[in-house]
Every structure is written in structure tokens, then in C-alpha cells.
Structure 1
């Protein structure tokens, strides 16, 4: 079946969705240990969450980039994730979606969340011809993410390194078997109608 141009691909349950982030060890290790973001984690900065594991691997270089050595799987409530989508604005102006550039800029300034659709990646981290969601949280959304939506935080660093080693050794089949199982997230049309490019 052909992939749609834009889709949320994620691991999810009836009540939660898993998103990925990568941090330096001074943030990542306490977050894993406590299951919550530590005090040094800044609630006043924008934070980007990625439901696609392979897009996160592209972004953090399999957990090898400086400042992104600890890969986290953050399990959050679907209610929270969908609240963010409802209150999000596209991160760039799109003619036909927004009435005009000034309206988009006003929406972006006041929105607690923003959406980018970035090219999905394969195991070699090469671009695929379709896109996956990246969700930026700021202000109220960051606080809700950290203090209300987060159900658990898990260390994905060893798995990231293991998959990377298999890919580097050319064993793509074994690497693929270790990937988190992701599927199309059942987002109702009303959640995404204002977020199509």
C-alpha cells in the first residue's frame, strides 16, 4: 500500500503514544532514573518531540552527536498529544492553508505547539519520499508535557547503538527486526486539517 505524503507514524497504545528525544547525559540519565524530566531541564524553552524513531536517529546520529548522547522514549498520554495537535500551527507559511502571511505569523506567535513535516528516513537514514511529524512544544504545552502528559521515560540508547552497529555491518534484516513497532497513528481529520501543507 502506498504511503500518504504526510502521516503520523508512531508506537502507541489505547491511551499513550511514544515520542523520542535525545539529550546530554546530565539531562537524559536523571530523566531515565526518575521517569520525569529533572530540574535542569528547561521548561521555558521550545522542545521538539518526534514520534518516528528513525527520524530521531537521523537527528541524533544514533545517539552519537554531541549533546544528544542519551536517547529517550517518552511515553505520553494520547489526550495530551492530541491537545498539542489541536493547538498547533504549521512552523512555516503555506499559501492556501493560511489566509495570509501576517495571519500565520500571529497564529505562530500565540500557538503553544508547532508542526513540521520532515522527510521520513530508512535504516540508512536516507530520505524517503513521504514525511513524518515533528511537534514543537512551547509555553503551556512544554509545562503540560513535562508535568501532566508524561507517563514514563525509557532509555533507548543501547538499542540505538545496537541497531546502528547492525546497519553499519550491513545486516539490515536484523536491524529492522529490532526497530520499535510503529504504525499509522489514528488521528481524526479534525486534528490535522489545519496542519496540512
Structure 2
């Protein structure tokens, strides 16, 4: 069961690590006190998020990501369980059966999480200080103008698909390395 949990956490981490989900550095907290934000910059960010249809973009992106998650968790579970030399064939079959039962439950819970409108409101609000730290009001206005162009609007439309496909590429490249690391760790700790 621990390995299934590791698979879920790893999958979720991959979702958040793909382009379009750039995170603030780990030392920066969403709730930490920060320098006051210039009202013009804050409004420019709100305008940008509105043009980007940020909440819908995030919902669509998570929706795309959740479609690939069950199969990703299944593959990871199979690799990890079958790769565990300490398990007998019967134990592996039992663990695989547990994983098959757990995957839909976890997917349903993540779906519920991703369909919470309050989460998107909170994320949008958290974007204001993030953008304000990195861009001036004028720069944000320029980005907003770009998203109002044909190619900018197209980029926003296909961003969820690009993110999903980027995630799949990232998983194909990263998961063998992560699985090797997990197996090595499990072997070295005797777990």
C-alpha cells in the first residue's frame, strides 16, 4: 500500500511540475507576509487572469491530467510490485488486486478535489502576488495584450492539451528513473 501511495504522490508531483504549473520557490509561502502590491499591478494581474480564463484553464488542465492518472498509477504499481523480489507470486497478485481497487478510489478523490471551485478562486488570488513579484503592471498588460491576439487565444485553448501531453512525456522519461530510485531505496532500507 505504501508503494501505491508513493505512486500517487509521484504522479501528482509530475502533474504540478509540467509547464504551465510553475510553482513559487519552496521557500515562498502563499500565506506568508509579502511586500504590499501596487494596486495597478494587482488589477493588471486580475485582468490577465480574466483574459486567460484562468479558472477554466486550470480546471481543463486538471481534467486532462486526471484522464491519464489511472493508467499511470496502474503502470507504476505493476512495475513496483512486480519488481519487489521479496514478494511471492501470490503476494504480488494480492498487492496488484489492492492497487486495482485503490486506483479508482484515489482517482475519484482527486476528481472531487479538482472540481472544487473554491480551490480555483484561491489559486487565482495567489497568482496576484506571484505575478506582481516578477512583472510590472506594464509587462502584465503586454502579456494580456498577447493573449487577446489570435495566437495568444490559441495558446490558451490548447494549453490543457499541451500540459497533458507534456506530462505524459515527462512521465515516460522520469518514471523509469524514479522507479529505479524507489527500488534502490527499498533495497537499501530492507523495505
Normalised-by-shorter TM-score class: under 0.3
Larger helix proportion, structure 1 or 2?
2
The structure, 1 or 2, with the larger RCO (C-alpha pairs under 8 Å, 6+ apart) is 2
**Rg larger in 1 or in 2?**
2
Q: Which has the higher strand share?
A: 1
| Structure 2 length-normalised TM | 0.27
TM-score calculated relative to the size of structure 1: 0.26
